[in-house]
Structure 1
Amino acid sequence: MIRADFYEKQGLLIGFEFSGHSGYAEAGEDVVCAAVSSAVQLTVNILDSLGVTTDVKVGENVINCKVKDNDKDSAVILEQLRLHFEAILEEFPNTINITISEV
């Protein structure tokens, strides 16, 4: 199962950490992992293109991204990512565990 942890501060999303595999199919054939990976990469790229300062760390099967300056625009982008994952989860149950933690 993919673990999707979102970070929230003062009611706004400020980052995320994703790890794991969905288990929907074998590596290289897993559409859920592909959808999640693509959405995460797009989100990081959009934040970067808007000039949002982020701290991004990529490891073996994990990515962590935190916005340095908490603002509504970046929070909206991160909220859309969360909603995208909710939609994936509806289509492919038991593949993503989504949590939101106050930091």
Structure 2
Amino acid sequence: MITLSVYKDADGKITGFRSTGHAGFAESGQDIVCAAVSALVINTVNSIETFTSDTFDLKEEEGMIDFRIVSKPCNESTLLLNSLFLGINGIREDYGKKYIKFV
């Protein structure tokens, strides 16, 4: 199961996330749920790095990404992070809550 934690600031804006685990939808190399979530996560991090001036901390290990914006998030970063969770929630609704959990 992929577990996602959402980091928010005092105003309730998303400032980052932690994604751990593997979906377990199919065998390694065939798991479309894991691939879809990974693509959204990596694209979000790359987009914030490329298209904004926000500074962030990023930790990556096998099966884990921890991303936190350390500056005050600009509107673009907020939009990208909201879009990430919209996409992941869509995958969760389509493929089943047993593969993706929000904590």
Gaps spanning 5+ residues in structure 2: where?
none
Of residues 22-31 and 46-55 in structure 1, the stretch that sits farther from structure 2 once superposed is: 46-55
Which structure would you say has the larger RCO, counting Cα contacts within 8 Å and 6 or more residues apart? 1
Q: Paired residue for 2:77?
A: 74
1:1-80 → structure 2 map (5 Å cutoff): 1-9=1-9, 10-50=11-51, 51-71=53-73, 72-80=75-83
Distance in 2 (alpha carbons) for counterparts of 1:87 and 1:39: 12
TM-score, structure 2 normalization: 0.91
**RMSD after superposition:** 1.0
Name the TM-score, length of structure 1 as normaliser: 0.91
Aligned residues: 99
- Secondary structure at the aligned position of 2:14 is classed as strand
Provide runs of 4+ in structure 1 moved above 4 Å.
none
> Does 1:87 pair with 2:90?
yes
Quote the offset at 1:57 in angstroms.
0.5
Displacement after TM superposition at 1:70 (Å)? 2.3
Q: Percent identity?
A: 35
Which amino acid in structure 2 is aligned with residue 98 of structure 1? F
Deviation readout 1:61-80 (Å, 9 max, x if unpaired): 10000001122321221111
More strand as a share of residues: 1
